[in-house]
Amino acid sequence: MVGIVIVSHSRRIAEGTVELAREMGGDDVALVAAGGTDEDGALGTDAVRVLNAIEDIFSDDGVLVLMDLGSAVMSAEMAVEMLDEAKRDRVLLCEAPLVEGAVAAATAAKLGRPIEEVAREARGGLLGKQSHLGVESEIAQQPSEPATDKSGPSLEASILVKNQLGLHARPAARFVRAAGRHGAHVEVTNATAGRGPVDATSLNALATLGVDQHHEIRIRAWGPGAEAALKAVEALAADNFGDPTDDVVAEPAATAVAETELPEGGMAGLPASPGVALAPARRFVSELPDVPTARAADVESEIARLDRAVRAASAELGELRDEVSSSAGAYEAEIFDAHVLMLEDETLRGTALRLIQDEKRNAADAFWTSVQESARKFESLDNPRLRERGRDVIDIGRRVLGHLLGQTDRPLVLSAPGALIVDELTPSTAAGLDPDMVKGIATATGGPTSHGAILARALGVPAVVGVGEDLLAIPEDTSVIVDGDRGIVIVNPGDRERERFADTARRLAARAETAKAAAGEPATTRDGTTIEVAANIGSVEEAERAADAGADGVGLLRTEFLFLERATMPTEDEQFATLARIAEALGDRPLTVRTLDVGADKPLAYLRQAAEENPFLGVRGIRLGLAERGLLTTQLRAIVRLAAERPVRLMFPMIATLEELTEARGLLNEVVGARRPAGLEVGIMIEVPSAALIAERLARDVDFFSIGTNDLSQYTLAAERGNAAVAALADPLHPGVLKLISQTAKAASSHDAWVGICGEVAGDARATAVLLGLGLTELSMAAPSIPAVKAAVRSTDLTEAAALALRALEADSAPEVRRLLEPDPAK
C-alpha cells in the first residue's frame, strides 16, 4: 500500500490532516504527519523530520509526500536527497492541495492503487469543491483511467440516496471503498442531476456528481467482481451509507413537547433551565454597529489599535469570569477562560493582520472579517456542540469591535422586570443578567448545551431555547409564560393557564424561601434517618459559598482547577496549601477529594498526551493517573498530609476494573507507608457500568462509593450528554441507570460501606425520594440546590420511598419514571 506523508509548517495542521484523511480513507492507511519543528512544535519545517516520516512508512509501493508551501517543499526535497538512492525513485513529491489531496489520496491508497493513481487522485482533490461552486478546472476535464477493461456484459443498479446531506465526505469515502474493493470497474451516474458517469472508485470524481438527498444514482459494474461490488454498495445504501437515519438527524431528541400537547398560544422549544415564570415580554435586540470600511491610513497604527482592543476585551472577559465565579461557580466561569483562548488564538489575529497589511483594511473591518470567517467554519461542522462555538466567536468578536469603535457599554438593560425574548443567549449576555430583573428567558435559536444556557441554569433563571423565529414577533409587554421544565412558551395565556402558572410560581417561591431559611439544619427524613446533603465544588471560593448555603460537607472536590491553565504541574506543597484552605473554609464538615480526572478532552500543557478519536473512552481519570504515576503520587502525598490533620475522604475516578482499584490502592499504600491516617477514608466513583456490575467485589476494598450519574448515564445509554441530538437519551432516571444505582447501593450495604451520588440528578429535588429509596445515604450537588433538596429529604418517608423506587425500577422508560415523580398539584 502506498504510504502518505503530510508536511506542514504547523504540527497541528499536519496531525489534523492525517486524522481527517485516516478517518476518510481507513484506519490501516499508512499516514504520517511531519509538521512543525522539534522546538516545542514551533512553526517551520524540518528535513530530518520529513526524512524520518518517509523511512517509517516506506515500502516498495512507494511514498507520496504532500506539502503546504515554501520551506515545506524545500524540506521535502532535501529529505528525498538524504534517502538511499535505491529508495528515491519510489518517493513522489506531489503539488496537490494539502487537506483535500490527503483525503483523496488516502481513499485511493486504501484501494491498493499504484502511486501514480494515488497522486492523480490527490491532484484532483479540489474537484468536488470546484464542481459545487461552478468553477471550471482542467483537471475536471481529464477522463478517469479505467481500473479494468469494460468489455463484456455489465450489471446495473439504481439507488435512492436518503442521507440528509447526500453523499458528503464520509459517506462518499465509504461508497468509494465499497465499490473499489472487489476488483471490478464501477461507474456511477447522478440520474437526477444528469451528471456522469464517473469512476465510482475515485473520491474526487464522485464529488463532482453533487449527489444530494433524494437524488437517484445509477451504478454500472464490469468484470469478475461486478456482482460483489454492486451488492456491497447496495448494502451500504441500506445502512444509510453509515450516516444516522434521517429521523435521528432531523428530530432533536431533546424536543420536550409535541405540537398536539401545546396549550393555546403555546410555542415549543427546548428546555434549557428549569423553573417557571409568568411575566411581560421584554425585548432586547443586539444590533451590530456599522463596521467602517475605510482604508487604513497608517498600517502600524491600525495594528496597535487592534492589539489594544484585544487586550481590553481579554481583561473584560477576565472580569466576567470573576463575576460568574462568584454568582454561579468556578466550573461555569471556565466558559470565559475558553473565550480568552479564542480571543488570543493567532488564527483570528493572524487573518486580521494579513488584511490590514496586504489590503490596507482598517482594524475593525479586518478583525470582524476574520471573526466571521472563523464562525462560518464552526457553523459548517456536523457536531452540534461545536457549531455552538461559532456563536461564541461572534460574541467575543463583538466585544473587540466595541472597543475598536468606542462602543463598550453593556448592551443589556431592562427598564422593568420581565421575560427576556432574544434571538440568542450569548455567554456575555447571560453573564450580565440580573436575576431580579430577568424572570425568564426565551430564545429563537441556540441549544440546551450552549454556554449561555449553562449560565442561565447556574443563575437559576428559567429558560427555553430554540423556539424559532416566530418568537421574535412577540410585542413588548405581551404577557408570556416561560416553562423551563417542559420547554414551552405560552403567549397571552388565558385565565386558566395564567392562574395555574401563577399559583405554581408562587408555591415554588414560597417553598424556596422556606427551604433557604432551614438550609443550615440537618436533613432528616420523616422516619428519623439523617441524610448528608453535600456540595460539589471546584475552588476555595466555592467551598466558602457551600458552607454559607448550608452544605453538610463537600461530596466532590474537583481538583482539576489545580492542574489546568498552568505551564507546570503543581507541587505537593502548592496542592496541600490549597486543600488546607478549602478544609479551613468547611470547618469540621467532611471533605471528599477526587484525584485528577482529565484526559485528552482536557489536556494538560505540561503532559504529553496523544490525540484520541474518542477521549471519553480513552486514557482519562484513574487510567491517566496510573500511566503518569509521578503526577498521581504527588497528589496523593498532598491529600495524605491533609488527612493527618483532619478527616478526609479520598476518591479515585473512572474505576472500571478491580485491577485498576488494586493498582491505585497499592500506590496509595506506598505513599501512606506503615501508618495510615486515622481520618482517611478511601472510595471510588461509580461512573462506568462495569464498576456497578462488579460493585459487590469492589465494595470489599473501599469505604464508600460515590455514583457519578452524568458519566454513568452516557456510558450506559451510549449517548453523549454534550451532543444535543442525543443528550435527552442520557437520562439518569432511565430504569437501566437506576438498576445500576440500586445494585451499587446493595453491594455497599452488604459490606458496611456507604454510598452517595454526586451527579447532576442529586440536585433535582423531584428525584430525591427515589434516590433515597434506592439506598443512597449522601447526596452531593451544586450549592444553590442544597436548600430545596434538604427540604425534599425532610418530606420523605423511607418506606414510601423504597416503594416508589421499586415502581421506578419496573418502569419502561425515563419519561415514565419522571411521571411517577411529578408532584401532586394539590400540594
Q: What positions carry a catalytic annotation?
A: 451, 758
**Do residues 704 and 649 touch, judged by C-beta distance below 8 A?**
yes
Cell 497499592 belongs to which residue? 666
Cell 488564527 belongs to which residue? 347
Q: Which residues have C-beta within 8 Å of that of residue 533, sequence separation ≥ 6?
A: 523, 550, 551, 552, 778, 779, 780, 781, 786, 789, 790, 793
Among 103, 105, 100, smallest CA distance to 118 is for 105
Give Cα 634 to chain centroid, integer Å: 30
Among 769, 766, 759, smallest CA distance to 800 is for 769
Long-range contacts of 796-800 (CB under 8 A, 24+ apart): 796/525, 796/526, 796/768, 796/769, 796/772, 797/525, 797/526, 797/527, 798/525, 798/527, 798/529, 798/772, 798/773, 799/527, 800/769, 800/773
Which element (helix H / strand E) includes 817? helix 814-821
Angle at the Cα of 383 from the Cα atoms of 377 and 388, rounded to 5 degrees: 65
Among 284, 271, 188, smallest CA distance to 237 is for 188
Among 449, 382, 487, smallest CA distance to 724 is for 449
Distance of alpha carbon 376 from alpha carbon 387, whole angstroms: 9
Q: What is the DSSP string of 362-426?
A: -HHHHHHHHHHHHHHHHHTSS-HHHHHHHHHHHHHHHHHHHHHHT--S-S---SSSEEEEES---
Distance of alpha carbon 126 from alpha carbon 98, whole angstroms: 10
Pairing of strands 463-465, 270-273: antiparallel
Pairing of strands 648-652, 591-594: parallel
Distance of alpha carbon 748 from alpha carbon 692, whole angstroms: 11
Angle at the Cα of 672 from the Cα atoms of 668 and 676, rounded to 5 degrees: 110
Beta-bridged to residue 35, according to DSSP, are 8
Looking at residue 643, its amino acid is A
Three-state SS for 486? coil
